[in-house]
């Protein structure tokens, strides 16, 4: 089968050199490449924030960051023969990363955005499968690279339906990043005015942040438009389940994937959202030294129960872990928050024992410095 390569001009902003990159979801974006089912593509990607964060930057410099650019995606890739009712299988053959990554607290994003309302930045050196940071002496995070964003273009009908439902959610108080022409690429009026931002996951994929989609895994996406129109970006060198602070170890990458059209599979399975398979155990970090863990219940300040609220329980579990890491390992709250995001796993331990949801957060001892 043929092998293709989609290149991007690293070191240049998507605004200066859009070519095969974009930062909105819309079926009107022209394909960067056309392939046949069964063919393999090496897809280069920029980092999620389009190079706005660089080595040597300090946390105070994040104040001028624009989230309107996020995420920078490479594509779309048109797969011949794909049509609505099909599934597009994306078989991940490799995710190749460079030697640098970053983790940032970017309010108002993050599970604890009300507690961490100031920007914070960590730089990581990536070498031999391990991430280390001068700001976290003794911490060693094992790499398990994957693409945070993989998805297909929505139909115009779905795009407009989702825009309506998210507008209603915003009116009800949810944090929504609605369509905006600010820094939209391409700057075509239709795309800019109604194209989805890339922060959310949708029925056709998007910002999934599923850390198990590593080399050897397969992602199955329901096709909404002819050709499927696949795009990807937001590479992560490592991430914990939940990505608590809103970022992982962010980096650029090259995704090598084989694309396969499964005719009629979405319709026959009644599949309306992504599914995936994993090549083996779903572990990222070395667990041989054991784990530390904290838990949280769905109880808010003031001793108020929010029945079976897993998000509230997750907040309480992460806050407890931040306290533990500060007491036992001397980490600042910001350092601990970022470490949980890149190496800690949020797990729903109970969602049926009324009235409390119980969430655990686990962190491998091998990641941590010697106490």
Q: What is the DSSP letter of 76?
A: E
Looking at the predicted structure, is the pLDDT value of residue 94 above 60? yes
Q: How far is CA 301 from the centre of its chain?
A: 30
Instruction: Please count the helices (runs of H) and the strands (runs of E) in the chain.
Output: 5, 23
262 beta partners: 87
In terms of pTM, does the model score above 0.75? yes
pLDDT at res. 70: 85
**pLDDT tens sequence across 117-162:** 999 999 999 999 999 999 999 999 999 999 999 999 999 999 999 9
Looking at the predicted structure, is the pLDDT value of residue 224 above 80? yes
Hey, do 3-277 and 291-367 end up sharing a CATH topology, with the first three levels equal?
Answer: no
Collect all residues with Cβ–Cβ distance below 8 Å to 193 and sequence separation of at least 6: 179, 181
300 beta partners: 304
Torsion of CA 244, 54, 149, 118, to 10 degrees: 30
pLDDT at res. 172: 96
**Where in the chain are the domains?**
3-277, 291-367
**Which runs of consecutive H residues, i.e. helices, occur in 172-301?**
189-194, 265-269
Q: Quick one: pLDDT band at residue 55, thresholds 50, 70, 90?
A: very high
**CATH for 3-277?**
2.60.120.580
CA distances from 305 to 126, 150, 294, 298, 356 (A): 43, 37, 19, 6, 7
Phi, psi of 93 (to 5 degrees): -95, -25
CA distances from 258 to 85, 134, 207, 255 (A): 20, 37, 20, 10
Q: Quick one: pLDDT band at residue 13, thresholds 50, 70, 90?
A: confident
Looking at the predicted structure, is the pLDDT value of residue 109 above 80? yes
pLDDT at res. 335: 98
Q: Quick one: pLDDT band at residue 2, thresholds 50, 70, 90?
A: low
For residues 57 and 66, the model is more confident at 57
Q: Quick one: pLDDT band at residue 371, thresholds 50, 70, 90?
A: low
Looking at the predicted structure, is the pLDDT value of residue 191 above 60? yes
User: Do strands 100-105 and 87-96 pair parallel, antiparallel, or not at all (unpaired)?
Assistant: unpaired
Mean pLDDT (whole number) for 24-38: 97
**pLDDT tens sequence across 294-328:** 999 999 999 999 999 999 999 999 999 999 999 99
Question: What is 291-367's CATH superfamily?
Answer: Acetamidase/Formamidase-like domains (3.10.28.20)
User: Do strands 3-6 and 40-45 pair parallel, antiparallel, or not at all (unpaired)?
Assistant: parallel
């Amino acid at each position: 089968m043929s092998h293709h390569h989609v290149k991007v001009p690293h070191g240049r902003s998507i605004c200066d050199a859009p070519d095969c990159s974009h930062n909105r979801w819309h079926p009107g974006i022209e394909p960067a490449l056309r392939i046949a089912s069964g063919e393999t593509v090496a897809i280069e990607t920029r980092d999620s924030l389009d190079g706005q964060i660089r080595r040597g930057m300090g946390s105070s410099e994040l104040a001028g960051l624009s989230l309107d650019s996020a995420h920078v995606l490479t594509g779309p890739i048109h797969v011949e023969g794909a049509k609505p009712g099909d599934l597009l299988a994306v078989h991940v053959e490799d995710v190749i990363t460079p030697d640098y990554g970053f983790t940032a607290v970017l309010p108002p994003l993050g599970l604890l955005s009300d507690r961490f309302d100031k920007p914070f930045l960590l730089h990581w050196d990536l070498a031999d499968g391990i991430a280390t940071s001068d700001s976290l002496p003794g911490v060693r995070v094992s790499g398990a690279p994957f693409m945070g964003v993989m998805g297909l273009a929505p139909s115009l009908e779905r795009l407009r339906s989702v825009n309506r439902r998210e507008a209603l959610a915003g009116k009800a108080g949810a944090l929504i990043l609605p369509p905006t022409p600010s820094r939209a690429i391409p700057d075509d009026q239709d795309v800019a005015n109604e194209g989805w931002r890339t922060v959310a996951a949708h029925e056709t994929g998007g910002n999934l942040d599923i850390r198990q989609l590593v080399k050897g895994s397969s992602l199955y996406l329901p096709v909404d438009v002819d050709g499927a129109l696949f795009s990807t970006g937001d590479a992560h060198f490592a991430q914990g389940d939940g990505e608590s602070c809103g970022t992982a170890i962010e980096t650029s990458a090259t995704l090598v994937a084989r694309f396969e059209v499964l005719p009629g599979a979405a319709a026959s399975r009644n599949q309306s959202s992504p599914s995936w398979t994993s090549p083996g155990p779903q572990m990222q970090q070395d667990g041989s030294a054991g784990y530390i863990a904290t838990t949280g219940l769905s109880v808010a300040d003031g001793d108020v129960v929010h029945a079976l609220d897993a998000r509230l329980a997750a907040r309480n579990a992460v806050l407890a872990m931040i306290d533990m890491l500060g007491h036992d390992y001397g980490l600042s709250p910001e350092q601990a928050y970022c470490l949980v995001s890149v190496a800690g796993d949020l797990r729903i331990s109970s969602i049926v024992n009324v009235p409390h949801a119980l969430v655990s957060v686990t962190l491998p001892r091998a990641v941590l410095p010697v106490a």
